[in-house]
Every structure is written in structure tokens, then in C-alpha cells.
Amino acid sequence: MRCLLLVDLQNDFLPGGALPVPEGDAVIPVVNRLQPGFDLVVATQDWHPPNHGSFAVNHPGRRVGEVVDLDGLPQVLWPVHCVQFTPGAEFAPGLDTSRIVHVVRKGTDPRIDSYSGFFDNGKRRSTGLADFLRQQGVREVYVAGLATDYCVKATALDAVQLGFATRVITDACRGVNLQPGDVDRALAEMARAGVRLVRSDELPGR
């Protein structure tokens, strides 16, 4: 079974959102076209409480982009984004959600961030996604979404480490590039870990 794993295709990560990923909206038509070619479509949703420790506003005197210690882990500080039950946390309006059979909501614990759809950033807790995928008979995971250099990277690295044959669909992802070259470095790191990089035109679609 082949699963398409859609990472954080939410309003706040699109142009005009709170933490916009450049060209983030460009991936929506690509993933919509790809969905019918997969056995299973699963999505992650960044889903923070207002007091989340990744928000710069919750660290007086600190600014977006700075790195702080959060409960023993280095944490990049972000603008307030993807707050639970707010419009910014909703899936992008253009995303076809009709085929999504399972949604993983992550980043709910204020003391730790969760870039990966499988574990929090300290690997302290599992989201249950790996068990769900195995129960469904999934062996191949294709990752697409936002952002290449954060949640896509973390999700793909965990997937391959968990034993799934893992691909990242490069043109169905976009990154933040907080530092120039971050996206290219993320792709190289994934490839080095055994993630295969593929393009959407190599895959069956609608």
C-alpha cells in the first residue's frame, strides 16, 4: 500500500498567512492531482495552543528567528501560527480533503514542538501515525507539503527510520529558507538518510 502524506497544508503557511512559506500555494494543485493515484491519503495539521513554546511572543524579549532552549531542546521561535480552532490552522481552501482518511494533529504540548508527523522533536511521544500506517498495510510513504526544511524533513526522516520506503515529492513541497540554502541542505540530508527524491511527473496522477 502506498500512502500520500500531506504535511501542514494550512492557511497560516500559505502566502498571506502568519508564517508564510514562499510559493506554498503552488503545491496545492500538484497534490490534488496526485491524490487519486494513491491507496491512502493522510494529512498532518500543526495544531498549537495559544501558549505554545515555539511562539516568540511567549518568550518576553525574544524575537522570531531566534533559537531558545525549550525544555532542554533548541527551539526556533516562530510567529503565532496554526492556533487550534482558528482559521489559520484550517486546511488550505483549495486542498481536496475528500480523500484524507486520517489527520494527525501535532504540536499540542506547549513545552515541546513537533515538526514530524510521527514524534515530537524530542522523540518523547509518538503520534500513533506509524501504527496507523502499518495497520493499513502501508509500506511506501510519499511526503508532500510544507515546509521542506522543517516539517517535511522531520516527517520524511522519521518515516525512513521507521522502515517505510520513503519518497519526498520535491515539486509538491516548498520551504521557508530562513537561512539561504536551507531547502537544498534539507533535501540533501533526506537523500543521505535513504529518502528518495522524486518529481510529481514521475508519478501516476489524475
Angle at 48 between CA 47 and CA 53, to 5 degrees: 150
- Say whether residue 46 binds Zn ion (CB under 5 A): yes
Nearer to Zn ion, 13 or 142 (CB): 13
Report the residue number, 25 or 46, with the smaller CB distance to Zn ion: 46
Residue entry with cell 514530524? 116
* Closer residue to Zn ion (CB): 149 or 164: 149
106 catalytic? Reply is yes
Q: Is 123 labeled as catalytic in the residue annotation?
A: no
What's the rounded Cα separation, in Å, for the pair 35 and 206? 8
Q: Hey, which bits of 134-174 come out as E strands?
A: 140-146, 165-174
- Span 69-128, contacts to Zn ion by CB under 5 A: none
Among ligand VGL, Zn ion, none, partner that 151 touches (CB below 5 to 8 angstroms by kind): ligand VGL
69 is catalytic: no
Question: What cell was used for 38?
Answer: 494513491
Write out the DSSP string of 11-33. GGGSTTSSSPPTTGGGHHHHHHH
Give me the catalytic one of 3, 82, 151, 173: 151
Residues in CB range of 187: below 8 A, 6 or more apart: 148, 168, 170, 197
CB of 186 to ligand VGL, least distance (A): 10
Contact of 199 with 171, CB cutoff 8 Å: yes
Task: Tell the smallest beta-carbon distance from residue 139 to ligand VGL (Å).
Answer: 25
H or E element: which one contains 206?
none
118 binds, among ligand VGL, Zn ion, none (CB under 5 to 8 A by kind): none
* Least Å from the CB of residue 160 to ligand VGL: 18
List residues near ligand VGL by CB under 6 A. Answer: 8, 13, 46, 78, 146-147, 150-151
**Residue placing its CB nearer to ligand VGL in the complex, 142 or 150:** 150
Q: Could you say which of ligand VGL, Zn ion, none residue 92 binds, taking C-beta under 5 to 8 angstroms by partner kind?
A: none
Pair 137, 116: CB distance under 8 Å: no
Catalytic residue annotation: 8, 106, 151
Query: Which residues would be at the binding site for Zn ion (CB under 5 A)?
Result: 46
